[in-house]
A and B are shown apart, each in its own frame.
Chain A
């Protein structure tokens, strides 16, 4: 089966610019996650969707980050305006359902560099 797809794979922008990342989860997976992985650290959950509804966005910096999953399939994560500290790999993951028993499948990530 096809895995989680993400684009672009790499992005370089200047601070104060905006950027958007796209994710296509595994077909049939109801739950979609966005993680931020700063160099030298483990992934940190930013937001979790169940179908097209937000389950948890408590760690999303809402003053500059936004995410949507309008039709319950693809999702976009946006940063506007970007700061230097946003340089990281942004990972998308999906799972059949929500909760500890559902394995999360990760995409290849988008590496963002903010200069």
Chain B
């Protein structure tokens, strides 16, 4: 079955630290991957997406993700986090068989000021 997994459930960082959140997918064929973010008290919103082309994708608020096909990974990165990045981050993949988004379990990030 096509699935997306996130290994880190909780991450705590200090401001200005670098961030890398792991995401792995389990399916082949056409791969379309997404990162969503949910800030406290707000709705889920799209951070960035990968469809094809340059495997390094840049999103909003200084986030980027790299698609590494050989590792089945799409990790989210930010060179220097801010307190306002405190949120829950979800990796998702487009499930070709079901024609739907399949989400990972999420990573809760806390940035200490």
Contacts and interface: CB of A to CB of B under 8 A. Distances in A.
A91 B103 CA distance: 13
A107 B43 CA distance: 6
Contact of B32 (A3, A43, A100): A100
B45 A106 contact: yes
Classify chain B: how many residues form its interface, as a range: 20 to 34
Contacts of B4: 42
Contact of B103 (A3, A4, A43, A48): A43
Interface stretch (B12-20, B54-62, B92-100): B92-100
Contacts, number: 48
Nearest to B46: A103
Interface in B39-97: 42-46, 49, 51, 90, 92, 94
A48 B90 CA distance: 20
Given A56-B98, A100-B32, A100-B94, A42 B45 contact: no
Interface string A32-69: 00000000111111001000000110100000000000
Interface of B: 4, 9, 32, 42-46, 49, 51, 90, 92, 94, 98-101, 103-106
Interface of A: 3-4, 40-45, 48, 55-56, 58, 91, 93, 98-101, 103-109
